[in-house]
Amino acid sequence: MSILVTGANRGIGAALAAHYRETGQSVVGTSRKSGTGFERLDVTDPESHARLARRLAGKPLSLLICNAGVYPDKGQRLEDGYPAALWAAGLATNVTGVFLTIQALLPNLRAAKGKIAIMSSQMASQARAPGGSYIYRASKAAVLNLGRNLAVDLAPEGIAIGIYHPGWVKTGMGGHAAEITAEESAAGLAARIEALSVATTGCFEGWDGTPIPF
């Protein structure tokens, strides 16, 4: 398999890349900043996508994991927080960035009838709306909607899309009080992705296989 993981320089992305490498897969990891062993990709920059697509031209891609994301509104107050620039930055990374990545690498995915895994969050669920974190919740709900609609359009080509909640993970974003390690999350996600098919495309699941209500 040939696999590409965005945001593979840390956290869940790094754990996913390591998991697949340990199983003998060919993995390309991307990072927003230049670094040894990474393809540079700023998911908010269309030209960065174009450069990556040119570098990978003709390379079939079995799996694309859209993992790069941000949680920009931690600690923001409803009364005086959530400035427009923060909304723009969050949506540019968590939603537009995912779409641009898929769009740029679609020829590679088509060449292999590959799969796409989108990292969303259970915080995207409209059935679970406890308040707060408006930018993060809205962006993860939007990327869930994006994945569901792309799943419909790409199913006739044999390309399946799964949307996943990686769990509350002990990373820089999740914090030390989180429930699982990045390695546990990666192993669970890999199992979910392995089970993904056109028959289940558009699914919204947790890392442990628990279906999440929309």
Interval 165-175: pLDDT, tens:
999 898 877 77
Mean pLDDT of 44-58: 98
Structural domain of residue 157, as residue ranges? Answer: 2-206
What CATH number did the domain enclosing 132 receive?
Answer: 3.40.50.720
- How far, in Å, are 2, 79, 108, 146 from residue 114 at the CA level? 9, 45, 8, 18
Q: How far apart are CA 30 and CA 9, in angstroms?
A: 7
Is 106 a residue whose pLDDT tops 90?
A: yes
- Residue 156 is assigned to a structural domain of this protein: yes
Please give the pLDDT value at position 179: 85
Expressed in angstroms, the distance from the first to the final Cα of the chain is 31
Mean pLDDT of 159-186: 89
- Residue 31 is assigned to a structural domain of this protein: yes
- Residue 214 is assigned to a structural domain of this protein: no
- Residue 191 is assigned to a structural domain of this protein: yes
- Residue 69 is assigned to a structural domain of this protein: yes
Which DSSP symbol is given to 96?
I
pLDDT digits (tens, 9 = 90+) for 78-95: 999 999 999 999 999 999
Count of the separate structural domains present in the chain: 1
